């Protein structure tokens, strides 16, 4: 399975760190509230955060009463930031790509992953490894870029606009062709995997999971009103999709 580690690229890391530090960022305003709203109770639970990045979520799970949180990631820079800024006695950070999750011992009550599976070439294989790490009845809660949002070619505008520049329609590029997509985000040749919605659902089900809940991100009206320059007119499509999946009891 191909792996990429763009987060250890100096330019990308600095740029991503600045986006995450800006108080007006998609993660904190839009993604995190939905993800946390789909979590089962975490009090006393053992949590695995796959692609934990800078550890903001791991810290939240610890603050929510988790017994232990293990955050794994492929990027040394992200893990170093997490250790320095989001540590707690019950949080451990470890370098481990999600393609190698079978190397972990033990079982978890809850596995979670926030916007990391965009980089998984074979998502079903990763999900099967997660299924094996969950206790019977355990939950997987994850977010991933929405297939509508990854159906993009990186060349043309994502939107058809009025002459005044207002977003009129969202454009889709080759939605039915799956695989690696390259576009400019923090660096010139940012890469994510595009999957059709049906593939995403079938990957989850083929890994053995029961899908319990699915959500698509939506920009709350008050956020559009508060930050019109950044979010004005962004009603056309969801940026992220979320699933809560259960391992069979």
Ligand X SMILES: C[S@@+](CC[C@H](N)C(=O)[O-])C[C@H]1O[C@@H](n2cnc3c(N)ncnc32)[C@H](O)[C@@H]1O
Footprint of ligand X on this chain (CB under 6 A)? 3, 7, 27, 51-54, 56-57, 73-75, 78, 97-99, 114-116, 119
Tell me the HSE value of 97 on the side-chain side, using a 13 A CA sphere. Answer: 15
Q: Which is nearer to ligand X, 34 or 171 (CB)?
A: 34
Minimum distance, C-beta of residue 231 to ligand X, in the bound complex (Å): 19
Q: Which is nearer to ligand X, 98 or 231 (CB)?
A: 98
Q: Which is nearer to ligand X, 1 or 168 (CB)?
A: 1
Helices (H), 99-186: 123-133, 147-150
Minimum distance, C-beta of residue 35 to ligand X, in the bound complex (Å): 8
Q: Which is nearer to ligand X, 166 or 216 (CB)?
A: 216
Please, is 173 exposed, middle or buried when counting C-beta atoms within 10 Å of its C-beta (0-12, 13-18, 19+)? middle
Radius of gyration of the chain (CA): 18
Minimum distance, C-beta of residue 95 to ligand X, in the bound complex (Å): 9
Q: Which is nearer to ligand X, 66 or 78 (CB)?
A: 78
Minimum distance, C-beta of residue 86 to ligand X, in the bound complex (Å): 10
Please, is 117 exposed, middle or buried when counting C-beta atoms within 10 Å of its C-beta (0-12, 13-18, 19+)? buried
Q: How far apart are CA 53 and CA 5, in angstroms?
A: 12
DSSP for residue 211: E
Minimum distance, C-beta of residue 232 to ligand X, in the bound complex (Å): 24
Q: Are 147 and 117 in contact (CB under 8 A)?
A: no
Minimum distance, C-beta of residue 212 to ligand X, in the bound complex (Å): 21
Q: Are 49 and 115 in contact (CB under 8 A)?
A: no
> How far, rounded to the nearest angstrom, does the alpha carbon of residue 121 sit from its chain's CA centroid?
14
With CB atoms as reference, the residue minimizing the distance to ligand X is 53
């Amino acid at each position: 399975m191909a792996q990429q580690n763009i987060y250890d690229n100096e330019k990308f890391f600095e740029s991503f760190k600045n986006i995450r530090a800006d108080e007006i960022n998609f993660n904190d305003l839009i993604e995190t509230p939905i993800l946390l709203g789909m979590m089962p109770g975490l009090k006393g639970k053992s949590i695995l955060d796959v692609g934990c990045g800078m550890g903001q979520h791991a810290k939240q799970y610890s603050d929510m009463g988790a017994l232990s949180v293990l955050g794994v990631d492929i990027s040394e820079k992200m893990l170093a930031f997490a250790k320095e800024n989001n540590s707690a006695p019950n949080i451990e950070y470890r370098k481990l790509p999600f393609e190698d999750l079978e190397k972990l011992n033990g079982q978890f009550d809850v596995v979670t992953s926030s916007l990391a599976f965009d980089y998984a070439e074979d998502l079903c294989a990763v999900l099967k490894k997660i299924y094996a790490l969950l206790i019977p009845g355990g939950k997987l809660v994850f977010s991933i870029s929405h297939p509508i949002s990854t159906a993009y070619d990186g060349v043309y505008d994502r939107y058809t606009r009025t002459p005044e520049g207002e977003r009129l329609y969202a454009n889709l590029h080759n939605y039915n062709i799956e695989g690696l997509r390259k576009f400019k985000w923090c660096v010139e040749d940012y890469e994510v995997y595009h999957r059709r919605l049906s593939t995403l659902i079938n990957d989850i089900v083929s890994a053995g999971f029961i899908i319990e809940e699915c959500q698509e991100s939506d920009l709350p009206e008050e956020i559009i009103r508060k930050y019109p320059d950044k979010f004005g007119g962004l009603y056309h499509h969801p940026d992220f999709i979320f699933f809560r999946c259960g391992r069979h009891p």
